Amino acid sequence: MSAPTEQFADYAKRGQEAVTSAVKTWADTVQDYAGTFTGHRPTSADAHAALDTAFDTTLDVVQKIVAGQRQVARTLLDAGVQVVEVIGEQANKAATKATETVTDAVNDTAAKTTRTRSAKS
């Protein structure tokens, strides 16, 4: 079970890196945009560029997070399927063993009953 745990840690680390990168990009964009106030009056194009950069960065982060979540879900599903398969195999073996035990007990009882009746006759 250590492999899924390592994968979860890796996904969390990648998610954290993506968020850190997005925040840094956003901060840089805001700083650049604020710098435009000191040099000249910002234009509509400047505002649109800053907005586009912020949304693009956010979209990239969201896509990375969703991809990580998808991988986590698939890993959990695969692990669950493996568990169900193992439990199913064990249940089949136990059922087979129980059936053999009951069949042997019934056959032994029938044989004893037959011998007892034969001895009394």
Each residue's pLDDT tens digit in the chain (121 positions)? 456 777 777 777 887 888 788 778 877 777 776 665 656 556 677 778 877 888 888 888 889 889 989 998 998 899 889 989 999 999 999 999 989 988 888 888 877 777 777 776 6
Token representation of residue 109: 């009882």
Quick one: which of 21, 11, 1 has its CA closest to 73? 11
Q: How many other CB atoms are there within 10 angstroms of residue 61's CB atom?
A: 20
Token representation of residue 29: 């964009």
Helix (H) or strand (E) holding 41, with range, is none
Is the separation of the CB atoms in 61 and 18 below 8 Å?
yes
Cα(2)–Cα(42) distance, integer angstroms: 53
Q: Quick one: pLDDT at residue 34? A: 66
Cα(55)–Cα(61) distance, integer angstroms: 10
Is the separation of the CB atoms in 65 and 20 below 8 Å?
no
